[in-house]
Structure 1
Amino acid sequence: MWKLVRNLLLAGVLFAAGGKLALWAAAQQQAAELVQRVAPWGTLTFASASADFDGLLTLSGVRFAPKPALALGQIEAREVELRARGAFALLLRAVTRDTDVPDKLGVRLIGAKLPAFELFGTAGSTAWLGRVSMVPFETLGCGVVTRLSTTDYQAMGLAPALPDIDLDYRYDAAARTLSFGVGASNPGFAAVKAHADVNGFSPAALTQAGARDALRAAQLTIDYRDLGYLARRNRFCAQQLGLTPEAFVDQHVAALQEFLKARRIVPSEAVVALYRQLLAGSGSLQLLSLPNASVAPSQYASLDPEEVLRWLNLTARHNNSPPVLFKLYFLADPQPAEALAGIDAALVHDPLAEPEPKPAAPAGNAIVQAPPPTVEAAPVAVAPKPVAAAPEPTRPVAATPEPPRPVGAPPRASAPVFAPKPVAPARAPEPVAAEPQTSTVPTLRVNPPPADPRVAGRASGPAPPPGSTAALVWQGPGVDRLEPPAEKPEPQRTFTVVAFEGLAAHVGARVLLITSGGKEIEGRIAGADASGVTLTVARDTGQAQFFVERARILEIRVQRQNRG
């Protein structure tokens, strides 16, 4: 009996050791396959790789350096965990030499340093996103503090650490649907989750623009949950400024509005009120988007940002409160007075009118001509001056002279060439449509600039003799030029921005005013003066007029009329 137990234990130990060795070999094989998979986008390195029986592949000391074309920063993580479909999945892929992309995969980055946090949390400037806390606009209104340090977090009673990132996806090749999620969490600070469902997806969308045009976003959700950090931050900044936490919230919201306004972005009143509720009451903030299926995400870059928000159909809610429309106004860039003056001149100019004669001006890069030589030269294509004496009778000549040629660019020559002396024509030449010139001004021909061998083009070899078959592969001199980069289309706006000084010319027009508080006022202009504008607004009981001060107006929009 004892021997049987001993043999079973030895067999179990050997089986576990063999399985562990097989898992180690499978981990190395799958890690090498992963490095080859991401090679088109960058270089992936790691310190070690291990695996478990439940299908978990763990890489430690991971560093990914993207190629310069991706315009991304380096990604680092203390550990990366990849979870496949189930137990023994790694062993099965290693044994069967399966190199296909798995239809289900989960990735967890522990202690991750992502380029997005570095991009939006740059030191020395106002951070859009806290690198540790993942809180947007973390230090706005907090005095001279532009970025919280480790000492500041410790003063709040927190132990700062890099967040953990979770990614997972499910791909159905038959239905061509992709469902993926991204999450980031940092205990004591915040937790963020994003989920998206995409239709018409294929792996070719990662490398081919045509496949990306077929993508359609079905749903997008973002959930931000505060883990007690906002109240700590409010108290910390209030102590720095000698304010109450409630007063700091008001100062922070005002500073945020000015920060966005400087970047031509104005949030609506409902969005500002929702953000204020999150700061004061903590909790969670959810964003839900049900995009329009007729517009591909690849087309968003050619649309106006406000149009993109409208196509996304984005709503927001705080905790269990009713949702509100997430609306942002993107103000148009101001036009300089010189540009507007040029536009007005172009509108009143008649393109069919005869151009006015302009005085001849020497070109900026004109070649200075040498003084006329002593050799007598004749003008080109200029009729000779009539003389007072009677013309001589026609005498026979050996050849008919060529008619005068119009004045044009001088032909190229290796040395200055002068026209020969005039020969008496058999008959007077017909006058040409050119300004009269004196015969004392000679026509000089300037040497062309020497050809640059770097751009002149070279032949592939000496020219073959006539009738030779080598002419089929011989290439003459030519220049290979790169195709010009495709210009990115400018976003098309559905309205025209009007300056306040020009409102007097639009009395009676229907306009939309964007105020400094993020409120939109729509109506017809009843009058305008230096202090503000009077609008006529339709009500249920009739029409009402009210006055809007000029100081409150950020932008005046006139909707464009569709012309058939």
Structure 2
Amino acid sequence: MRKLAMRFFILVLLLALVLGGAYGFYWYQVKSFVDDLSAQVSGQAQIEYSAIYADPRGEVGVDGVSITLKQDGTRIPVESIRVRSDDPFFFFNPRGRIESGDWPAQLNLYVKQAQLSLNSGLVKTLEQQAANAAEMNPLAVSPDALACGDVQQLDVAAMREMGYSRITSDFVLGFDVDRYNQRISINTDFSANGMGSSTAEIEFSVVSDDLAPARLLAANPRLRKLEVSYTDGGYNVRRNRFCAEQAGVDVETYRAEHQRLMEQWLLSVGVDLPELLWDIYSGINEPGGRFTLTMRPPGGLGAEVMAAMGAPAQLIERLNIAVRLNGQPVAINSIDWAGIQVDPVPLPSAGGDGDAGEGEAGQVADAADAPEAESAPGESEEPSETVAQDTEADEDDLFRGMPQREPEPEPKRYRETALAQLGGLAGLPVRVRTDLGNKFEGKIVEVQGGSTLLIEQRVDRGVITYPLEFSQIRSAEVYH
């Protein structure tokens, strides 16, 4: 009995040593991967952490992470980073398995409580770049800042005035592989404290089991589903209150004025939104507003399907779009998408009554309508014409005999071109705007049947040819 107990103890001890050694090796693999990653980015950032987390059931990560950018000294603290997989053995060689396309069925990345100060060097650099870009058009007002008093951009400075000092966020990235049904799903979930949250789900179908990143495009991925959502988490309240204060009005007045100015701005670029879309826009900007858009194209959406589409309205119909606002479905199938594109309407004058410049226009009209001044007795216009001719003759005598400089050829540029002329301009770059305002840019292949323009456009490592009916084309510009 004593010997049996001793053998059992030794067996348990050996099992514990084996498990301990396996866990130690597992923990060491995780630490090695983190240290290698830190060394690879050491030229741009310094990564520090307080502890390694390794769960043999398939979850690894680091705690107490601090990322310091070397360019400007910005420090980004992160509470924890986790990677979770349904295949624990994936973490013994994660890089090799990813490069070979041997993905686990489920792989998720979690970043918890990452913080970025709005006074950090990184944010100030981005803020300065935005300010330099704004100097090119100092009078321009961003559409989202319309009716916000004298504010031209809802930028970082405006966020500080709204009460934001730092952005604290959580991020989740999920990757699911269904090899049996040949489907790949990518899911993201991002939330920022005091601002809002957004999610996205993209599902592709593939025709190959080779999922190596370098060869994934060869698997002919087709979009099966795209769903994006946004939920306000406090930003709308702060933005509405801030802009109302800047304009010196109450919140409801600001929102009504903002929508009125936004409608004018869209009309100025040739877009007339129906009432249903304005209801969606208003609902998204309400405190706590929730918006979800889902696309489920029947049979999937690939490059060849997009190339075969005619009018953009056909593409929108093929996408099979569904919208939910604050949890309720919206019947967007009743929208006349082709009627959204209209002739641009000039923005009202700064005075708001459309009378700006009336004085100058009136003066021009009066001058045109006024009777010609009577000539003094004995005077006529013939002497002035004679003087002009004599002056031109003197100039000809002055430059006669000197070598004449050949006129410089007019530089190449995109020029408005009639559709009937496109057939003789094969091979030249072209820019086309359609009825709905969509833009296509590529090279003219040919005109088929006198009414269909074929445009060749480069995509990744190949090219794709788009057919466009003349009836869908609003304007065409050819580079020559």
* 2:57 paired with 1:57: no
Instruction: Say which SS state the counterpart of residue 163 (structure 1) adopts.
Output: strand
Q: Letter of the aligned partner of 2:192 in structure 1? A: N
Following TM superposition, by how much is the alpha carbon of 1:288 offset from its aligned partner in structure 2, in angstroms?
1.7
Gaps of 5+ in 1: 1-6, 65-75, 127-135, 350-484, 500-564
Question: Which residue of structure 2 aligns with residue 217 of structure 1?
Answer: 223
Following TM superposition, by how much is the alpha carbon of 1:33 offset from its aligned partner in structure 2, in angstroms?
8.8
Q: 1:106 aligns with which of 102, 105, 108?
A: 108
CA RMSD of aligned residues (A): 5.2
User: 1:165-204 alignment to 2 at 5 Å?
Assistant: 165-200=171-206, 202=208, 203-204=210-211
User: 1:411-490 alignment to 2 at 5 Å?
Assistant: 489=465
Instruction: Say which SS state the counterpart of residue 322 (structure 1) adopts.
Output: strand
Instruction: Say which SS state the counterpart of residue 328 (structure 2) adopts.
Output: coil
CA pair 193-344 structure 1, distance change in 2 beyond 3 A: closer
Question: Which residue of structure 2 aligns with residue 374 of structure 1?
Answer: none
CA pair 242-22 structure 1, distance change in 2 beyond 3 A: same
Question: Which residue of structure 2 aligns with residue 343 of structure 1?
Answer: 418
* 2:270 paired with 1:268: no
Q: Distance in 2 between matches of 1:229 and 1:16?
A: 50
Question: Which residue of structure 2 aligns with residue 230 of structure 1?
Answer: 236
Q: Letter of the aligned partner of 2:59 in structure 1? A: L
CA pair 241-313 structure 1, distance change in 2 beyond 3 A: same
Instruction: Say which SS state the counterpart of residue 108 (structure 1) adopts.
Output: strand
Following TM superposition, by how much is the alpha carbon of 1:146 offset from its aligned partner in structure 2, in angstroms?
0.7
Following TM superposition, by how much is the alpha carbon of 1:318 offset from its aligned partner in structure 2, in angstroms?
1.2
TM-score by length of structure 2 reads 0.52
CA pair 58-244 structure 1, distance change in 2 beyond 3 A: same
Q: Distance in 2 between matches of 1:80 and 1:489?
A: 44
Question: Which residue of structure 2 aligns with residue 250 of structure 1?
Answer: 256
Q: Deviations over 1:437-458 (max 9, x none)?
A: xxxxxxxxxxxxxxxxxxxxxx
Question: Which residue of structure 2 aligns with residue 322 of structure 1?
Answer: 329
Identity value in percent = 20
Following TM superposition, by how much is the alpha carbon of 1:184 offset from its aligned partner in structure 2, in angstroms?
0.8
CA pair 219-490 structure 1, distance change in 2 beyond 3 A: closer
* 2:465 paired with 1:492: no
Q: Distance in 2 between matches of 1:137 and 1:189?
A: 20
Following TM superposition, by how much is the alpha carbon of 1:94 offset from its aligned partner in structure 2, in angstroms?
5.6
Following TM superposition, by how much is the alpha carbon of 1:281 offset from its aligned partner in structure 2, in angstroms?
5.5
- C-alpha contact 1:204 1:211 (8 A) present in aligned 2: no
Q: Distance in 2 between matches of 1:283 and 1:181?
A: 22
Q: Deviations over 1:511-562 (max 9, x none)?
A: xxxxxxxxxxxxxxxxxxxxxxxxxxxxxxxxxxxxxxxxxxxxxxxxxxxx
Q: 2:170 aligns with which of 147, 153, 164?
A: 164
Following TM superposition, by how much is the alpha carbon of 1:77 offset from its aligned partner in structure 2, in angstroms?
8.5
Question: Which residue of structure 1 aligns with residue 348 of structure 2?
Answer: none
Question: Which residue of structure 1 aligns with residue 92 of structure 2?
Answer: 93
Following TM superposition, by how much is the alpha carbon of 1:31 offset from its aligned partner in structure 2, in angstroms?
4.6
Q: Distance in 2 between matches of 1:120 and 1:260?
A: 27
Tell me how many residue pairs correspond in the alignment: 320
Q: Distance in 1 between matches of 2:195 and 2:47?
A: 29
Higher RCO, Cα 8 Å, sep 6+? 2
* 2:25 paired with 1:22: yes
Question: Which residue of structure 2 aligns with residue 81 of structure 1?
Answer: 82
Q: Letter of the aligned partner of 1:288 in structure 2? A: T
- C-alpha contact 2:223 2:297 (8 A) present in aligned 1: yes
Following TM superposition, by how much is the alpha carbon of 1:300 offset from its aligned partner in structure 2, in angstroms?
3.9
- C-alpha contact 1:274 1:317 (8 A) present in aligned 2: no
Q: Deviations over 1:289-315 (max 9, x none)?
A: 121326415754785654432221212
Q: Letter of the aligned partner of 2:206 in structure 1? A: G
Q: Letter of the aligned partner of 1:24 in structure 2? A: W
Q: Distance in 2 between matches of 1:63 and 1:107?
A: 21
Question: Which residue of structure 2 aligns with residue 423 of structure 1?
Answer: none
Select the structure of larger CA radius of gyration. 1
Q: Distance in 1 between matches of 2:184 and 2:231?
A: 25
- C-alpha contact 2:185 2:204 (8 A) present in aligned 1: yes
TM-score by length of structure 1 reads 0.45
Q: Distance in 1 between matches of 2:227 and 2:329?
A: 16
Larger helix share, 1 or 2 = 2
Instruction: Say which SS state the counterpart of residue 130 (structure 2) adopts.
Output: coil
Q: Letter of the aligned partner of 2:418 in structure 1? A: I
* Bigger Cα displacement from structure 2, 54-63 vs 13-22: 13-22
Q: Distance in 2 between matches of 1:487 and 1:193?
A: 32
Following TM superposition, by how much is the alpha carbon of 1:173 offset from its aligned partner in structure 2, in angstroms?
1.7
Larger strand share, 1 or 2 = 2
Q: Letter of the aligned partner of 1:325 in structure 2? A: I
Following TM superposition, by how much is the alpha carbon of 1:106 offset from its aligned partner in structure 2, in angstroms?
0.4
